């Protein structure tokens, strides 16, 4: 990692530290990660010293359909590089590419992360770099800190050392246990769901370094005496250590960021489309499968900007939508659904639409963070009443933590895994070709 960081700093023209010389505590707008509470707290603690910060993504992919091997890629971006340049491949650090025979378990993931954390600990102490992106090229002694991680939920659970996302205590941000309900009426098979506790009851405890440390004290004393279910239930899902806890400014609760791609667009919005248009729900009050063609015509009439990635295909293909398609439909297609849905369902959907417009904005008023929280909390309070608890999945629950992510790190667009998709696509393409050739030779 250190040689890559050295190379990036020596050639990038888009690096600046101006945001570290000012406090945004009195500024009413959140423009980037710099204006979030996390970054501002580091500025205060570093007392005028210049530093670098990183966001990490971890992703696993299949090497081949005919092989059980998987490939795990650890990537990092530098927040002090201009936003438009930050996620370009030339400015991205590849922390590791590891091939595994099977999907790693939590202990194995921690072993994969350990050498990366060791390098990060060296970077925290400070290194002297030749920095190009200033008025003149100069040598600077800079500390570098990992301050956040944004992954899909399965990868996050491995990195964080917590329960599976669909299991009890599967939320990476809080200790909500969830409840089990029949998968369908009169069925013996059950599924775990995560409706919010009533407002008049105590809400689940948020995960933080402090709650993690308390869990680990018990873990090291008792883990050899308990089976995995006992461990999960007694430690609120923290079933293994997380080596990222060793880092100065990484919080093993709040530093795991809300991912709009997997949680909101591929999660919540995809679920809503199924509920609205899948014929197996046609007898439910929310279902509008008989209006699919009408809604589709309305959506096809929308004029998207020339910069729009992946204009949505016909609504009849919603099951195969990519996250960019569901994103465009959520943000720009409300009126089509609003005209077709029963009024209370349309109003409910509008809560999500408004909240996401704010949370995805490049410029967010600080007062709007509370608006996001209120809108999404109301959406979550109504969801099990309107759609039954059965459909209140972990991705739906994850909306509960969006406002906190925006407050600490700014707009969801600053760190969404959307940003890592092209990086991973290029990296995966060439690495998979290599591994497939290797497998075929064997």
Q: Got the DSSP string for 83-135? A: HHHHTSGGG-EEEEEEEESS---HHHHHHHHHHHHHHHHHHHH-EEEEE-SSS
pLDDT of residue 296: 94
Average pLDDT, whole number, for the chain? 90
Residues comprising the chain, all counted? 442
In terms of domains, do 213 and 272 share one?
no
- Same domain membership, residue 217 and residue 296: no
Same domain, 187 and 226: yes
- Tell whether 384 and 358 lie within a shared domain: yes
Do 10 and 153 lie in a common domain? yes
Which pLDDT does position 190 carry in this prediction?
93
Residue entry with tokens 């990537």? 75
Q: What would the pLDDT profile of 153-165 be if each residue is shown by its tens digit? A: 999 999 999 999 9
Task: Say what the pLDDT of residue 24 is.
Answer: 59
Long-range contacts of 429-438 (CB under 8 A, 24+ apart): 431/71, 431/73, 431/97, 432/61, 432/63, 432/64, 432/71, 435/63, 435/64, 435/69, 435/71, 435/99, 436/63, 436/64
**Does residue 400 have a pLDDT over 90?**
yes
249 within some domain: no
The least confident of 44-53, 142-151, 200-209, 319-328 is: 200-209
The string of DSSP codes covering 367-388 is HHHHHHHHHHHHHHHHHHHHH-
Which domain does 208 fall in, by range?
162-239
Is the domain of 169 the same as that of 152? no
The highest-confidence range among 5-14, 85-94, 182-191, 266-275, by mean pLDDT, is 266-275
Please give the average per-residue pLDDT across 216-222, as a whole number: 90
The per-residue pLDDT for range 349-378, each reduced to its tens digit, is 999 999 999 999 999 999 999 999 999 999
Q: Is residue 438 part of a domain?
A: no
Task: Looking at the structure, tell me whether residues 73 and 13 fall in a common domain.
Answer: yes
**Residue 429, pLDDT score:** 66
Mean pLDDT score, 211-224: 90
| 247 within some domain | no
Q: Is 197 domain-assigned?
A: yes
- Does pLDDT of 297 surpass 90? yes
Please compute, for residue 263, the number of CA atoms within 13 A of its CA located in the half-sphere on the CB side: 28
Q: How confident is the model at residue 441 (pLDDT cuts 50, 70, 90)?
A: low
* Residue at a domain's end among 196, 211, 239: 239
Question: How many folded domains does the chain comprise?
Answer: 3
């Amino acid at each position: 990692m250190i040689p890559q960081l050295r190379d990036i700093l020596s050639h990038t023209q888009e690096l600046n530290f101006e945001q570290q010389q000012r406090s945004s505590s009195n500024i009413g707008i959140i423009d980037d990660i710099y204006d979030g509470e996390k970054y501002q707290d580091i500025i205060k603690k570093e007392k005028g010293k210049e530093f670098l910060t990183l966001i990490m993504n971890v992703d696993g992919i299949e090497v081949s359909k005919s092989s059980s091997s998987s490939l795990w890629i650890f990537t990092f971006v530098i927040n002090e590089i201009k936003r438009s340049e930050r996620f370009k491949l030339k400015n991205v650090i590849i922390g590791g590419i590891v091939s595994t025979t099977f999907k790693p378990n939590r202990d194995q993931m921690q072993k994969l992360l350990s050498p990366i954390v060791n390098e990060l600990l060296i970077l925290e102490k400070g290194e002297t770099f030749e920095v190009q992106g200033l008025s003149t090229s100069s040598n600077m002694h800079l500390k570098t800190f990992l301050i956040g991680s944004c992954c899909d939920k399965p990868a996050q659970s491995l990195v964080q050392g917590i329960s599976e996302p669909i299991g009890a205590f599967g939320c990476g941000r809080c200790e909500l246990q969830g409840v089990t309900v029949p998968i369908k009426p009169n069925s013996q098979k059950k599924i775990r769901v995560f409706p919010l506790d009533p407002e008049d009851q105590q809400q689940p405890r948020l995960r933080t370094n402090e709650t993690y440390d308390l869990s680990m004290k018990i873990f090291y004393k008792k883990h050899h005496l308990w089976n995995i279910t006992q461990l999960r239930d007694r430690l609120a899902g923290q079933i293994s250590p997380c080596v990222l806890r060793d880092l100065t400014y990484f919080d093993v609760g709040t530093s795991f960021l809300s991912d709009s791609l997997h949680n909101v667009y591929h999660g919540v919005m995809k679920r809503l489309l199924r509920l609205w248009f899948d014929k197996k729900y046609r007898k439910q009050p929310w279902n509008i499968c008989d209006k699919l063609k009408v809604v589709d015509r309305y959506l096809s009439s929308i004029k998207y900007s020339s910069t729009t990635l992946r204009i949505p295909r016909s609504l009849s293909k919603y099951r195969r939508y990519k996250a960019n398609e569901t994103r465009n439909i959520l943000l720009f297609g409300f009126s089509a659904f609003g005209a077709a849905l029963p009024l209370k369902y349309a109003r409910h959907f509008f809560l999500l639409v408004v909240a996401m417009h704010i949370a995805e904005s490049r410029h967010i008023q600080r007062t709007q963070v509370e608006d996001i929280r209120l809108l999404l909390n109301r959406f979550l309070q109504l969801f099990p009443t309107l759609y039954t608890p059965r459909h209140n999945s972990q991705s739906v629950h994850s909306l509960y933590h969006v406002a906190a992510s925006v407050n600490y790190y700014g707009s969801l667009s600053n760190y969404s895994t959307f940003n890592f998709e092209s990086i991973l696509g290029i990296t995966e393409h060439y690495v998979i070709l290599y591994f497939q050739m290797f497998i075929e030779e064997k």
